Amino acid sequence: MKEWIKKAVALCACTAMTASLAGCGSSDSSSAGEISSADSKAADASQSANSTAGENSPSDESKPYERNPLPVEPVTETMGDFDISDVQNESDVPADFKVELEAEKGTLNGKSAVLNKSSMGDFSGEGYIIIAQDDETSAEFEVELETAGHYDISIISARASEDATGQVLMDGSELRTISVSSTKFEDNGIKNIELPAGKHTFTFKSIKSNLFIDKITFAAPMQVDLSVFNVKKELANPNAGDETKRLYNFLRDCYGRYTVSGQYSGDNMGSSSAEFYVIEKTTGKKPAILGLDLIELSPSRLVHGSSGGEQVPQQAIDWWNNNNGIVTLCWHWNAPEPYLETKNNGAWWQGFYSEYTNFSLAKALSKEDEEGYNYIIRDIDAIADTLAYLDDQHVPILWRPLHEGGGDPKWHNPWFWWGSSGADAYKELWKLMYDRLTNVHHINNLIWVWNGQDPDYYPGDEYVDIIGYDIYADKGDTSSQKQIFDLMRSVTSENKIIALTENGVIPDPAASFADGSRWCWFATWNGEFIFDGGEMKISDYTGEEKAKEFFNSERVLTLDELPDLKSYPIDTEKFLAENK
């Protein structure tokens, strides 16, 4: 099953009940010529949804939300005992240690075989091996390690028609999984892993697709280039609020030193959701980042009677104010009303998928479809009400709009309408949204997180604070996803924070820190990707034992380990200089 289909199933499951109920109450949608009526209905529905959000929330029935910022209290900056020491690979293994193994010299079991003709580039020795995806198929190698310590295991490997996942075992116990995404031989090895001295049997298997291995090398670990984690202090918005600057500076200090844990809650239920319950019950920890979705605040969904969106601002405020947690918001932006139920028998609540709407972003932006352009402005302005309210409450947001716009960069297959008109239209929409929220609505609590997936969809450094990527790896594939991390680093020549903005499987933090793919945070999507609803336990995407290990890793920050974010320094270097 394609990665995006897996996510679609989980997302649609969360909205199906709302869709069925709302559909009974409203069966028709506005035509393009009725935009004024649509505006009115959307505004009425939006105000009704917001009426329970709080005394100072955007609840006036006839006017947009009027700004009413809370007074700002003086802040005494502190970092507490938060440790920001650099984290580098270390080992007692002699620097000149090296053991090289030609794969074809190993003990081959089952359907593994030696090949000597390749379309995968040059190979060393007399050939290379193929390891088929089969429980009985493997390749084994005897290696003697004189010193206990950390090693790099270089695995020169490739895959055939689809990405492969390999499993490496030592003396019968799993060490790591590896991801192989190139059809040419390259290193997909394990970095800086601690191994005991002595003679060991290393076994290589495939758990997805055919795996080809040319050569394996054991050596002392390479050092990680820590300079890539030094990012500039300034946010894209020069008028960002102090609380936003504090959060961003905290993430700058984390980057390369820690990965912050995150979780999207089902049905926008926040920390009371089943996802958070199961994680805490299993690991003893709570995620530091709460992920919420503005999907139900899309005007075209409100017109159809959708509900639940009113919970978002209150969940965000509670998480920040009462839990010292971090909030990230995405927006599955439903296409405007006249463009719903127009394609492939799609339901109105499926209107964010390009498969189910005939809305053309390119035509709207060019004004060929001027009413479509007006709807875009209307929708951005509607979402601005919620974001402005959170700004007035001084809640900083990791704002991740227009996500996954480019689809999978390997296939160039955008699945959301905001990406299906191509990279140029997507970038124009990003800039339009940035300008409208920043310069028209003066919303200053947003840290702009781009995860358009495809580098061609990158709108430019001046509009982006953080770069993210959404990865839905196969069940059990806890590899670091280094190839994707490096792809995102290549998007721009400027160092930017790189985050795993959505995931199914949580990458192994030990592997990520060892090979330099040090994601600033992860944010597991809700539902089946984190818990088995039937048994209320961690699902087998990451698995219970791995989840316990990862959430309790010294490199993963959970809610209880965060410093006081409201008083975190805006400028760490200046703070430390003044508080020696």
Whether 516 and 224 have beta carbons less than 8 Å apart is answered as: yes
CA-closest candidate to residue 251, choices 481, 573, 562, 486: 562
Contact 339, 299 (CB under 8 A): no
The secondary structure of residue 548, as a DSSP letter, is H
Q: How many CB atoms lie within 10 A of CB 228?
A: 15
Active-site residue identified among 404, 462, 554, 561: 404
Could you tell me if 290 and 268 are in contact, meaning their C-beta atoms sit under 8 angstroms apart?
no
Q: How many CB atoms lie within 10 A of CB 2?
A: 13
* Cα four-point dihedral sign 395, 396, 401, 407: negative
> Is 296 noted as a catalytic residue in this protein?
no
Cα–Cα distance measured from residue 14 to residue 178, given in angstroms and rounded to the nearest whole number? 32
Q: Which residues contact 282 (CB under 8 A, 6 or more apart)?
A: 537, 538, 544, 547, 548
DSSP string, 306-370: ---TTHHHHHHHHHHHHH--EEEEE---PPPGGGSS-STT--GGGTTBGGG----HHHHHTTTTH
DSSP 118-137: -SS----TT-EEEE-S-TT-
In angstroms, the first-to-last Cα distance of the chain is 55
Q: How many Å apart are CA 152 and CA 221, to the nearest integer?
A: 5
Active site residue 371: no
Instruction: Give the bridge partners for 271, in sequence order.
Output: none
Residue 514 CB neighbour total at 10 angstroms: 24
Q: How far apart are CA 570 and CA 551, in angstroms?
A: 27
Helix (H), strand (E) at residue 252: helix 242-254
> Which of 102, 104, 310, 502 is the catalytic position?
502
Residue 75 tokens read as 């802040």
Cα separations in angstroms, 297 against 245, 341, 360: 27, 19, 21
Query: Closest by alpha carbon to 209, among 115, 110, 133?
Result: 133
Q: Helix 311-323 to helix 370-392 angle, to the nearest 10 degrees?
A: 30
Which residues are identified as catalytic?
404, 502
